[in-house]
Amino acid sequence: MRSAAIISKPDKPELYRIIPELLRWLQERDYRVYLDEETAIYAQGHHTDHQTHPRRDLASFGPEFVVVLGGDGTLLSAARALAHKSIPIIAVNVGSLGFLTEVPLAEMYPTLEAVDAGQCPLESRAMVHCDLVRNGQAVGEFDALNDAVVNKSTIARLVSIDVYIEGTFVSNYLADGVIISTPTGSTAYSLAAGGPILTPSVDGFVITPVSPHSLTHRPLVVRDSATIDLVYRSAEEAFLSIDGQVGMPVVEGDHVRCSKSSATVQLFRIRKSFFEVLRSKLKWGQR
């Protein structure tokens, strides 16, 4: 039997209608269906056959694909849970801006038909791997699809961060924080902080200071084969944020070591090019 999984955003009332219909569609085509615990809530009271598991465990069941219903935040969470198994994702936009969740709800079933028939192209997205090293020991490790950010924890104070690339000192940044962004994440926090937009196929990372004290500190693009070290130099505690969703505190002397992850995110793509998405989401001028 073939298998698929569904991951969705909590507190979306329209999913009480969407999820049961999607379950029936999959089961009529002989898919065994796995739901994460958030999604199972929307299936209660319906006589549908499915299994419920924590989101972090879904990849272990080896579904052929996962339907993600929500916005980019839901997709980022799902991507981190699935990337180490390279399970393809159909990212369906349910009522949000959605740079990554490009499949409109109205096109979900045509997209599923194409996936079911093996006729929907896949796009691979790179991730950044981060180790938080304290006193020579790794105390945390993460993979991010969008970005890893070292941010100040207090409102008034700037933080001091040394940046090294391949062991070579670049600069000390006195700023609100520093962002290490993938090409996918270049349209997220890094863009808001003044960073450039990278197309998804670019083999690079963006290092973007957040509100730097020196106006000459500008975003920097490096190859993704490079290792980037952020050394935290302030006495006040800061925070390492992964995709704006998870993370841990950073203290003076900590190293945040970033490199290209061995995991990749596989996204089913529909007809839109990356530039069509930019024109639509950023309201760029049309011809």
Active site residue 203: no
The H-assigned helical ranges of 92-214 are 108-116, 189-192
What token pair was written down for 222? 């490096």
Catalytic residue among 11, 30, 72, 254: 72
Q: Where is 18: in which H helix or E strand?
A: helix 15-28
Torsion sign (Cα): 168, 173, 176, 182: negative
Cα(180)–Cα(228) distance, rounded to whole angstroms? 9
Which of these, 124, 12, 26, 111, lies nearest to 69 by C-alpha position? 12
Question: Alpha-carbon distance 185 to 241, whole Å?
Answer: 13
Sign of the C-alpha dihedral, residues 162, 164, 167, 169? negative
- Distance in angstroms (rounded) separating the CA atoms of residues 147 and 30: 38
What CA–CA distance (Å, rounded) separates 217 from 210? 10
Who's near 114: CB < 8 A, 6+ residues apart? 120
User: How would you classify the pairing of strands 204-210 and 255-268?
Assistant: unpaired
Radius of gyration of the chain (CA): 20
Q: With residue 129 as reference, give the H or E element that holds it.
A: strand 122-134
* 225 burial via Cβ count (<10 Å: 0-12, 13-18, 19+): exposed
Beta bridge partners of 242: 148, 246
Catalytic residues: 72
